[in-house]
Amino acid sequence: AAADPVSVLPGSLGRGSWCHEHDTIHKRLDIIEEKVIKTVEHLESEVKSLLNIISETTSNIPIAPGTPLIDIFDGKS
């Protein structure tokens, strides 16, 4: 009995209870993982949509001749 980690834990209700808790935690983690994946997919879709809108908008803006072009994404200040 001393080698069985479940029986040594204070307040342990036995292996069945521990397994049930373990399964419950995994089910909750699976639900959280699914929600995170769906959220990331939704955000990727939103970002692509916004980038398309920005691209379409900027390509339709008339630029006066001689105006220097600035790339806001080049990382230079």
Mean pLDDT of the chain: 80
Comparing 5 with 23, which gets the higher pLDDT?
23
Per-residue pLDDT at 10: 53
Q: What is the DSSP string of the chain?
A: -TT-HHHHSTT---HHHHHHHHHHHHHHHHHHHHHHHHHHHHHHHHHHHHHHHHHHHHHTS---TTPPP--TTS---
Indicate the residue type of 74. D
Mean pLDDT of 26-50: 97
Q: pTM for this one?
A: 0.53
Per-residue pLDDT at 72: 74
Quote the percentage of the chain above a pLDDT of 90: 43
Q: State how far the alpha carbon of 35 is from the alpha carbons of 25, 29, 30, 32, 45, in Å.
A: 15, 10, 9, 5, 15
Per-residue pLDDT at 1: 46
